[in-house]
């Protein structure tokens, strides 16, 4: 125990002596947490729309006005022909073309139906699909409006209509920040903990200090604990800073108990740090460790359910996410912070992550050889 | 009593089975200053790493203080001091912190064993709050030695402690070793410098993983079998060329400002060689009978 205490003291001394590491640990998460949610916005705005209006009737004007008034679109072209408008798409000045045919108003009133043509630039997939569906729903809305005006509605509609009204639970205003901030915090904590531990032992190997340690009677598990605990503490500090930023910058107050959250993060960090340690036992240089860590981090983040929903992944990808600790962390963050889940609700997650912690750390201890 | 016993130790590296240590056997007595002398790549570091339990041997056995290097590695780790060839203390910790750290790791304190390091530590004490990374080469060596000594090891392994250190510091370093020897600490030291060999009690000349000879430095020098002449001339390069052509000569090589020429024992007199060289048109010729050094013995053994 005495040895462990001194190992820890040495480790903390080294960490705080390296000013760039301290800055990295404290400022990087704060800056990222403040910048990223503002930029990583799921909503698509400022879609450039070009209209080819062959009708030039009050109705077509009304439709265009309604579209622009939605706030999602920007009228960047008002062209006489589709060909002209297509030129705008080619020069990337328009994302969507709406073509209104001749006699749009007349046909709509006389024949009760008319077709519009929408062409979408699908180079940016998200913008294309969202823009297309926004436009579709605005046009549908417009359609309903004019039916209200035109048709002297009988008291009971001849056609049964199902109207769907959705209500959003846990995030009533669909504020994407509520959704993304806890996820980004989860990833930040993972990165800080994982990278620092992975690089730390490898650094001792590179400098050669590990040789000196290896000839001492220090026990393997004491040495590994000495490496694990400092970064566990630091990652917890980063997590706390993140929660404070979330509270005061985004007004996110966890619905569930903080105790539950910290209980989970404590175990989760053991798994992440164990993973970092394991990688460090396989690597001889910081470069190797960095690249391997980066490879896994990319996988963890992209398959973690932050940017893309796990439910919409193919089955094989879903299977991979089961082995991804970040996935459980993001889920628990959202469960506890947004939904107010209790400790019992996250028990399955805790169990899996706990198992990962045991396996990864055990493997790391086995694989760390004092003798070659 | 024998502190270190090495029997038929063998180590090979990689798939090509490159032999680094080839069937090496020697023993070191308690309180002895034993030198492993050999060029880079001779296998000195591999032997040290095996004896300090950092490397597993592929064959043979060895023991330190009666502890087997494979079975009783724990006992060895707490009783030996090791100073690797590469400076490997924490560069971002100060002198004092490094020393304190290594004392604690071995479960002791600086005060307890201060008498062992006192002579060395006072030299670096004025800089004790300076980070180890910012020290000069000589000071780094002194600190490393202090850290290797702080737990009062029975045996000290010093792997090329003077490589890259200036001549004055080197001399000081060897004086420190002599004083440590008086404390009855067994010291194994490796070095590529032949001039340091004569400072050891006994030396093993090692090359290509094999031990060529083990003896007291004096015995090795006195056992030199041939006649050795130191030759100097105004045209050194031509001199070496001319020497090479001499029919009776066994070997010749540049040696400082002289060239050493080796002849079978009693087969050549300095005067005879001098006139031979004059006959070949060399000027300023000076030929002396030379006393063999460790280096000459080593070269002899290599041929």
Span B67-83, pLDDT tens digits? 999 998 888 988 899 99
Span A262-289, pLDDT tens digits? 999 999 999 999 999 999 989 989 999 9
**Residues A264 and A332 sit within 8 Å (Cβ to Cβ):** yes
The domain of B156 spans: 2-221
Tell me how many residue pairs between chain A and chain B have CB atoms under 8 A apart: 73
Span B257-280, pLDDT tens digits? 888 988 888 778 888 888 888 888
Considering the domain architecture, whether residues B67 and B144 belong to the same structural domain is answered as yes
Domain finish residue from B195, B221, B247: B221
The neighbour count for residue B171, using CB atoms within 10 Å, is 13
Considering the domain architecture, whether residues B176 and B264 belong to the same structural domain is answered as no
State yes or no: ipTM above 0.85.
no
Domain finish residue from B199, B221, B243: B221
**Residues A55 and A103 sit within 8 Å (Cβ to Cβ):** yes
Q: Does A208 touch chain B (CB under 8 A)?
A: yes
Considering the domain architecture, whether residues B180 and B75 belong to the same structural domain is answered as yes
A-contacting residues in B 10-39 (Cβ below 8 Å)? none
Beta bridge partners, B26, equal: B6
Contact across the interface for B97 and A13, Cβ inside 8 Å:
yes
**Residues B288 and B259 sit within 8 Å (Cβ to Cβ):** no
Q: pLDDT-based confidence at B7, cuts 50/70/90?
A: very high
Query: The domain spanning residue B264 has which CATH number?
Result: 3.30.70.100
pLDDT at B129 over 60: yes
Domain finish residue from B170, B203, B221: B221
| Angle, helices B137-149/B95-105, rounded to nearest 10 degrees | 20
Q: Does A78 touch chain B (CB under 8 A)?
A: no
Considering the domain architecture, whether residues B94 and B173 belong to the same structural domain is answered as yes
Considering the domain architecture, whether residues B159 and B37 belong to the same structural domain is answered as yes
Strands (E), chain B: 2-13, 18-29, 33-37, 59-64, 67-68, 80-83, 155-159, 186-191, 202-207, 210-215, 227-232, 249-255, 258-263, 286-289
Chain A CB contacts of B53 below 8 Å: 215, 370-371
Considering the domain architecture, whether residues B232 and B208 belong to the same structural domain is answered as no
pLDDT at A152: 58
Joined tokens for residue B241: 């060329």
Query: The domain spanning residue B205 has which CATH number?
Result: 3.40.50.300
What stretches in chain A show pLDDT beneath 50? none
Listing from the earlier edge strand, what are the strands of the sheet with B210-215? B80-83, B155-159, B186-191, B33-37, B202-207, B210-215
Joined tokens for residue A85: 């408008």
Considering the domain architecture, whether residues B180 and B158 belong to the same structural domain is answered as yes
Considering the domain architecture, whether residues B138 and B40 belong to the same structural domain is answered as yes
Chain B CB contacts of A17 below 8 Å: 92-93
- Whole-model pTM over 0.95: no
Considering the domain architecture, whether residues B135 and B205 belong to the same structural domain is answered as yes
Structurally, chain B folds into a number of domains equal to: 2
Chain B CB contacts of A213 below 8 Å: 105
Q: Give A288 to chain B, closest Cα distance, Å.
A: 21
Q: Which residue of B has its CA nearest to A209?
A: B88
Q: Angle at CA A220, nearest 5°, toward A215 and A224? A: 115
Span B10-62, pLDDT tens digits? 999 888 788 889 899 999 999 999 999 988 888 899 999 999 999 999 989 99
Considering the domain architecture, whether residues B106 and B50 belong to the same structural domain is answered as yes
pLDDT at B198 over 90: no
Span B152-161, pLDDT tens digits? 999 999 999 8
Considering the domain architecture, whether residues B246 and B209 belong to the same structural domain is answered as no
pLDDT at A370: 65
Considering the domain architecture, whether residues B159 and B198 belong to the same structural domain is answered as yes
Provide DSSP, B19-63. Answer: EEEEEEEEEEETT-EEEEE--TTSSHHHHHHHHTTSS--SEEEEE
Listing from the earlier edge strand, what are the strands of the sheet with A96-100? A73-79, A47-53, A96-100, A117-120
pLDDT at A154: 55
Mutate to test the interface with B, among A9, A18, A212, A370 (most CBs of B within 10 A): A212
Joined tokens for residue B49: 């790493």
Contact across the interface for B53 and A215, Cβ inside 8 Å:
yes
Contact across the interface for A17 and B105, Cβ inside 8 Å:
no
Q: Does B130 touch chain A (CB under 8 A)?
A: no
Q: Which residue of A has its CA nearest to B98?
A: A10
Tell me the percentage of chain B whose pLDDT exceeds 90.
Answer: 29
């Amino acid at each position: 125990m005495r040895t462990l205490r001194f190992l820890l003291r040495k480790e903390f001394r080294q960490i705080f002596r390296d000013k760039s590491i301290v800055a990295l640990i404290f400022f990087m998460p704060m800056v990222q947490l403040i910048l990223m949610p503002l930029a990583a916005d799921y909503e698509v705005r400022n879609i450039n729309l070009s209209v080819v209006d062959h009708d030039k009737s009050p109705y077509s004007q009304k439709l265009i006005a309604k579209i622009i008034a939605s706030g999602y679109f920007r009228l960047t072209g008002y062209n006489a022909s589709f060909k002209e408008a297509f030129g705008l798409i080619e020069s990337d000045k328009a994302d969507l073309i709406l073509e209104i045919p001749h006699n749009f108003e007349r046909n709509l009133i006389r024949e009760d139906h008319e077709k519009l043509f929408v062409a979408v630039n699908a180079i940016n997939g998200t913008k294309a699909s969202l823009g297309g569906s926004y436009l579709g729903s605005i046009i549908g809305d417009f359609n309903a409006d004019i039916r209200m005006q035109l048709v002297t509605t009988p008291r009971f509609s001849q056609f049964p209509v199902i109207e769907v009204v959705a209500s959003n639970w846990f995030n009533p205003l669909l504020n994407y920040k509520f959704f993304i901030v806890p996820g980004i915090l989860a990833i930040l904590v993972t990165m800080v903990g994982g990278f620092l531990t992975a690089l730390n032992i490898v650094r001792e190997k590179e400098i050669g200090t590990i040789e000196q340690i290896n000839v001492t009677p220090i026990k393997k598990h004491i040495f590994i604990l000495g490496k694990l605990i400092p970064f566990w503490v630091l990652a917890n500090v980063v997590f706390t800073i993140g929660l404070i930023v979330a509270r005061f910058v985004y007004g996110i107050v966890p619905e569930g108990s903080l105790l539950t959250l910290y209980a989970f993060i404590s175990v989760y960090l053991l798994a992440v740090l164990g993973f970092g340690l394991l990688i460090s036992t396989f690597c001889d240089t910081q470069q190797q460790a960095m690249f391997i860590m980066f490879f896994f981090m990319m996988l963890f983040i992209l398959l973690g359910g932050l940017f893309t929903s796990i439910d919409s992944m193919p089955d094989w990808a879903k299977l991979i996410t089961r082995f991804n600790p970040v996935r459980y962390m993001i889920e628990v963050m959202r469960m506890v912070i947004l939904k107010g889940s209790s400790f019992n609700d996250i028990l399955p997650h805790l169990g899996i992550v706990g198992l990962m912690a045991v396996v990864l750390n055990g493997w790391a201890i086995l694989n760390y050889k004092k003798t070659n | 009593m024998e502190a270190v016993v090495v029997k038929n130790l063998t180590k090979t590296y990689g798939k090509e089975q490159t032999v680094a240590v080839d069937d090496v056997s020697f023993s070191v007595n308690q309180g002895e200053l034993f030198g492993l002398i050999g060029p880079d790549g001779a296998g000195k570091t591999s032997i040290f790493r095996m004896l300090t339990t950092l490397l597993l041997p592929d064959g043979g056995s060895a023991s330190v203080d009666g502890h087997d290097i494979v079975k009783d590695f724990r006992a060895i780790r707490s009783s030996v001091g090791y100073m690797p060839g590469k400076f490997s203390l924490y560069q971002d910790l100060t002198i004092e912190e490094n020393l304190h750290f290594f004392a604690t790791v071995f479960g002791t304190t600086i005060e307890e064993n201060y008498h062992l390091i006192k002579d060395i530590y006072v030299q670096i004490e004025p800089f004790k709050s300076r980070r180890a990374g910012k020290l000069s080469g000589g000071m780094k060596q002194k600190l490393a030695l202090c850290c290797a000594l702080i737990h009062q090891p029975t045996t000290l392994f010093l792997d090329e402690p003077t490589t890259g250190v200036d001549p004055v510091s080197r001399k000081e370093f060897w004086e420190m070793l002599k004083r440590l020897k008086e404390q009855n600490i067994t010291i194994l030291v490796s070095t590529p410098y032949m001039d340091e060999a004569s400072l050891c009690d006994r030396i093993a000349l090692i090359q290509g993983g094999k031990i060529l000879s083990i003896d007291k430095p004096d015995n090795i020098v006195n056992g030199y079998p041939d006649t050795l002449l130191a030759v100097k001339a105004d045209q050194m390069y031509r001199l070496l060329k001319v020497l090479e052509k001499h029919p009776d000569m066994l070997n010749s090589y540049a040696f400082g400002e002289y060239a050493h020429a080796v002849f079978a024992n009693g087969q050549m007199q300095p005067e005879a060689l001098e006139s031979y060289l004059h006959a070949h048109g060399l000027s300023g010729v000076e030929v002396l009978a030379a006393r063999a050094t460790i280096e000459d013995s080593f070269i002899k053994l290599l041929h």
